[in-house]
Amino acid sequence: MKKNDIKLSEHFTLQELCHSRTAERQQLPNTPLPCHVMRLKNLCVQVLEPVRRHVGQPVLVTSGYRCEAVNRLVGGVPSSQHRLGLAADFVLKDGGELRPLWEWMQQHVPYDQLILEQKGRKEWIHVSCHIDQRQNRRRAFVISKP
């Protein structure tokens, strides 16, 4: 089965959680191991699907799984949870405001880190979640850069 054929949940595929323009430009495979796929599936089922149901519209994943080389090229930290299949960055399809959603997520979905990231006019939510919920530290914060 090809990567793009694998459904992780009702609305999310492995292909969209692994898509990387950087990997395409550099002709790098951004292929997760089975353990990463299992973690991505958990993230979709436990976090992204409830978010999609809550907002009533598609959630666009801008960054999901990243292999070591892709993570390095995009400036990710070596310990990035993206490398482990635990994290995704996303925006709303309609470009809607994210702060109310970030606040809702703190009360309604499991998470390890929940970050509202702002860089200039761009804004996205970074969320990570462990399969073993006891490992989730429930750290929520805002990062704002000019």
Task: Tell me the helices (H) and strands (E) count for the chain, helix number first.
Answer: 6, 5
In the prediction, which pLDDT does 2 show? 53
Q: Parse the chain into domains and list their residue ranges.
A: 3-145
Going by C-alpha positions, the residue among 70, 67, 69 that lies closest to residue 83 is: 67
Query: What CATH number matches the domain at 3-145, 3.30.465.10, 3.30.1380.10, 3.20.20.140, 3.30.750.24?
Result: 3.30.1380.10
Spatial contact of 45 and 134, defined as CB atoms under 8 Å apart: no
pLDDT in tens, 43-77: 999 999 999 999 999 999 999 999 999 999 999 99
Strand order, beta sheet including 122-128:
59-63, 87-92, 122-128, 113-119, 139-145
Going by C-alpha positions, the residue among 10, 13, 18 that lies closest to residue 50 is: 10
pLDDT in tens, 10-41: 999 999 999 999 999 999 999 999 999 999 99
Q: What is the largest CA-CA distance in the chain?
A: 43
